[in-house]
Copies of this chain bind each other. A is one copy, B any other.
């Protein structure tokens, strides 16, 4: 936002509920009132009694009552975790079609205060069934009984209908919008870094390749079967024809034949030559992936070179930070690691801000403010979903959000952290030995944040040997200005650093790490021309969801998890 006028965003705070407590509006683009806008009112919707509304949703549980003269339905439309209680008389519709879990109903009815004191402050008396999507309970894969999250992963297309996955979807949505709001608020520009890349950010490998060579080869193979390539004899015959036609022209010329005859002969020669060149071209076609000098010929690939899925947008977003100062990227990233853990995905989302004129202190300030903002946002906007998570998955989830949003993060150097861990290891056994220079293991990180400080901790100034080439070398020449944010429950949530902006130093670091210079020339250009002090970090979005919700497995924190052997839909 670059002008002074107020954006219309401020309308947003008054959106969920209309100020008038006696009416509720239909959603502008669908033929129904959001259940949230009924139930989430301060009066639980009681003030709406008497109003006729349309609602739609899926039956969570349904039961016939009063000898089958009416039915109760618990209806959920995904707008909030709570259900709307619905009463349908047998005169309105065939009750047995309505009560099955998973049935979709689109209903018109009157909101009423329940006759008996109940959990619900309002219920819907149905007057008309507008649409009905039935379910055969014998075939529906998600019956009312509680299913494990693991089993639900076999039904990624239906699992959003469960309480847990829909609560996570709302929390994920809230964290995504909170992310944009935080950075926009602080003047950062959202930049879409590329998904397909020809750079390898960390030089670490384990990238997915993006190619059309295989499908092109398959197409060619089919084409060659349908339309076989010429044989060597065909080509020889065509060559012979060219020779003959050429000789014919020579003879006619030396015989001083008339112009028309010569022209006609030349035309025949040209035709023969064209035909030969086509044959020669097709003769060269070989089934399979194109090779050159024993290697795959990537000049034939879609981008005329080898291409991959990005592992991080950092290097690319730096090009925008070195021009627009404060930027961030928020998009999918990929690792082709054969990790089968509950903490790794092959496709996951990362938030990566990059700030010019900022050093490692500014970077830590930004990371801390961002994480605290996210926690406060969930408390302000997703408390009902968080209460569901507390009840079902992690008793301390809300307390953790409160603690993080209100506590200043502890900041200690890597060197101090190692001293603390060495001291601690006198009294407790770590699986991995601690000494200056090692990459801290998860157990060490969790000890610091969960046991020692009981608070988020930012570690900074790591040994340069264990960190990436682009991190700024400190004056001690032993450490780099890197920082990691550690939080209870997940350990490392954020990794960041001040970037090395000195041309000579970063060039040296690239060579020191045994990386080739050529692919980084564009990155070096940022230091060659108008270099700037800058810093940034990356937050693994699904890790943030694990941290917030207390979920155990990252495969449940993303709508469509991708991991070795699995990419459903």
**Given known contacts A102-B529, A103-B530, A357-B32, A2 and B81 CB-to-CB distance under 8 angstroms:** yes
Q: A131-B532, A564-B303 are in contact. Are A195 and B332 (CB under 8 A)?
A: yes
B6, B12, B323: the one within 8 Å of A184 (CB):
B12
A489 within 8 Å of B by Cβ? no
Q: Kindly report which residue of chain B lies nearest to residue A158, judged by CB atoms.
A: B525
Find out whether the CB atom of B530 lies under 8 angstroms from the CB atom of A135. yes
Determine how close the nearest CB of chain B comes to the CB of A62; give it in whole angstroms: 12
A264 at the A/B interface (Cβ < 8 Å)?
Answer: no
A184 to B222, CA, bound (A): 48
Alpha-carbon gap, A160 to B139, bound state (A): 56
B-binding segment of A362-370, A440-448, A477-485: A362-370
Within 8 A of B (CB), among A33-70: 34, 36, 40-42, 56-59
**Interface members, chain A 8-45 (any B CB < 8 Å):** 8-17, 27-32, 34, 36, 40-42
How far does the alpha carbon of A120 sit from the alpha carbon of B205 in the complex, in Å? 51
Number of copies: 2
Least CB separation from A59: chain B residue? B530
User: Would you give 9 A-B contacts (Cβ < 8 Å), ordered by A?
Assistant: A8-B376, A12-B184, A30-B356, A30-B362, A31-B359, A139-B528, A170-B324, A176-B180, A214-B289
Other 14 A-B pairs with CB < 8 A, given A131-B357, A170-B189, A302-B338: A1-B381, A1-B382, A8-B377, A10-B12, A29-B362, A29-B365, A32-B357, A77-B325, A106-B357, A160-B319, A192-B332, A196-B346, A197-B567, A302-B336
Choose one: B42, B177, B320; the contact of A4 (CB below 8 Å): B42
Q: Is the CB of B525 within 8 A of A157?
A: yes
* Chain B contacts for A296, CB-based, 8 A: 214
Question: CB within 8 Å of B: which of A302-326?
Answer: 302-305, 307, 309, 315-316, 319-320, 322-326
Bound complex: CA A309 to CA B30 (Å) = 31
CA gap between A380 and B4 in the complex, in Å: 9
Given the complex, which residues of B lie within 8 Å of A325, measured CB to CB?
30, 32, 34, 56-57, 77-79
Contact in complex: B560, A380 (CB < 8 Å): no
- Is the beta-carbon distance between A28 and B365 smaller than 8 angstroms? yes
Task: Report A209 CB to chain B, min CB distance, Å.
Answer: 6
Contacts of A568 in B (CB 8 A): 198, 522
The residues of B that contact A160 with a CB separation of less than 8 Å are 319-320, 322-324
CB-CB under 8 A for A363 and B533, given A357-B56, A567-B305, A569-B194: no
Which chain A residues in 69-124 approach chain B with CB under 8 Å?
Answer: 77-81, 102-104, 106
